[in-house]
Structure 1
Amino acid sequence: MPNITLSKAILIAGLIGAIFCAYEALTKNTVENLGSNKKLSSSGLLENWRNGNVILLIRHEERCDRSNNPCLGPDNGITVLGSERAKEEGTRLKSYFELDNTDVFTSPTTRTVQTSDIMLGKASLLSEREAICGNDIIDKLLKHKIISRNLIVVTHNTCMKDLIRSSGQQHSWRPEYGSLLFAITKNKNEIQIVATLNAVDIPKYPSSI
């Protein structure tokens, strides 16, 4: 009987250990959603931004061709509502992140260009929609990233998912219009995803966090 009891105890301990290790591996590779706990200020992003280490991907605002809302311009662009939200998001972003030390690029589609113009006020046009997308998105981002300067890319939800997948992260996040995906450069060849943040969850003022 003592041997059977001991065997059961060892088996249970082993199962608990395996579950704990699996949980650790899962949470280690899970992207944090800052919108769920308002941890923008404590995430380390502000310091990394000041040091020029941040890569920020932003999804374009509401597509007109997939909405019943009035178009801002061409039907392959964004809606009037999307333009209003882009303006508000830009105001909130700039209250946290200065753009003087930042290079901004945008996909050449009408919806991304409109979003970038309204939200950020400046951007360099990428050669094509997939210029910073795909399985080699990390290499593409690093080629555009200048040391000690932040990089913003206004892009598409598929490209944001490409970065999460290519970084080996586990995340079921579906980027909403205007969503943010933050990453930092660890060295010349490595990117670490820090967090996601939906546009509606960006606090209006830094002091409110």
Structure 2
Amino acid sequence: MEEQINQMPRIGDMAPDFTADTTYGPLRFSEYNKGSWVILFSHPADFTPVCTTEMSGFAIQSDEFKALNTKLIGLSIDSIHAHVAWVNNVKKNSGVLFNFPIIADIDMKVSKLYGMLQPNESQTAAVRAVFIIDPTGKVRLMMYYPLNVGRNMNEILRVLKALQTADKHGVALPLNWVPGEQVIVPPPKTVPDMEEREKSNYEMVDFYLAKKNL
């Protein structure tokens, strides 16, 4: 049992597929993921303060995620009735609608599949996990937060943009990179490549570390 709880996908793995009931109806994850990026994120419980701030943050910035061809999908180990009641409560109190599916993972099936249950943190509540999955269904990034620390929405958006930029331009991104800043050109693999680089207009910190503007 514990081995199953601790199982989690790794970066580069294909995201495990599943079917689930959500606040927007039944869903097969592979169909939801098809043709777009997906951010799958879990929260410990409905009607809790930190989770309310986080889910509201995703909802408030949902248009920005949509513009990045990215769908959102939440999860907790609560019933669909609790989810709908919470969505209604937050909308009435703050005017914010959780306008993305929230998985009712009452049997913990998806939580176990994605390693969202961390036994030394909680046996029955999912930690604050974030999975960024690309349009091919591959896991590209994972973040795990404990129950009592909220996530940083700016960082989630930053790494999503970084992954998309790296894919589009075949580059790497330096420390604290944000869109508009220089990117890192992959290092040369041969001596001729090294010599060619020295003639380029890249910003050369050294032959293996060169930056350019996009």
Tell me the TM-score range normalised by the shorter chain: 0.3 to 0.5
Greater per-residue strand proportion: 2
**TM-score, length basis structure 2:** 0.33
**TM-score, length basis structure 1:** 0.34
